[in-house]
Amino acid sequence: MAPRLDLYSGIHKGIRANMYETGLLLSRTNFADEGERGLALAAVRTSLGFLDEHLVHEDTHVAPVLAEIAPDLAPTLAGQHTDHERCSAELKATSARLHEGAGDPLAEGASLCAQFNALIADQTEHMNLEESKANEVLWAHRTDEELAGIRGAIQGSIPPERFGEYLAIMLPNMNFHELTGMLGGMKAMAPPPVFEMVSGIACTALGDRWAAIEAAL
């Protein structure tokens, strides 16, 4: 039996990889050094950008469906989204103090690391719940065609340049089946110039893996 269409796997793989890489960068950053501090703050800003936007995409396109078919699960996921908004605001406030040079950079850097590690822990639990329980309900109550419609609505809401940035973190962390499924769907549905752009991003992101994916498409 072919795997069901998974709304979460691809984007979660990209966000996890980016989030973990940022956590590792923060763990080795000398926050007293202006250059290292700047790189760390840029990485946090990038990670929060993906996480915050992903939350909005889910709230807009997935949460209403789950509220209808999983009234017991939906409030838990919504509460976790609220927790993320709080964590994100705290990280942005700490980042601003570091950027402005307010306070001891080593102490503020330690706070930033602790806050980001808490974010990683919370998001790992949250994404696992979506990938297990939310998928279970979605697969029981929605066809793959209906799920593809939700995915298409999310992708269509993202500006092309920003969508390219999402692909750059997603594609290297997806497996062969996921890549051929997602890119094959885009090839079938997207205008040729759009798929040409996507192919260019995939070629760069996948390196030696691209030839096999291109042949399968």
pLDDT on residue 204: 95
pLDDT on residue 10: 93
Residue 55 in this model has a pLDDT that exceeds 80: yes
Q: Rounded mean pLDDT of 43-64?
A: 98
Q: Are residues 129 and 185 in the same domain?
A: no
Q: Indicate if the alpha-carbon torsion angle 9, 12, 18, 20 is positive or negative.
A: negative
Domain contains 149:
no
CATH classification of the domain holding 79: 1.20.120
Q: Band of the pLDDT at 36, cuts 50, 70, 90?
A: very high
Q: Where is the domain boundary, 114, 142, 170?
A: 142
Q: Are residues 167 and 98 in the same domain?
A: no
Residue 31 in this model has a pLDDT that exceeds 80: yes
At how many degrees (to 10) do helices 160-170 and 9-27 cross? Answer: 70
Instruction: Give the long-range contacts of residues 201-205, CB within 8 A, separation 24 or more.
Output: 201/164, 201/167, 201/168, 201/171, 202/167, 202/171, 204/168, 205/167, 205/168, 205/171, 205/172
Q: Are residues 183 and 217 in the same domain?
A: yes
Q: Band of the pLDDT at 83, cuts 50, 70, 90?
A: very high
Q: Rounded mean pLDDT of 109-130?
A: 98
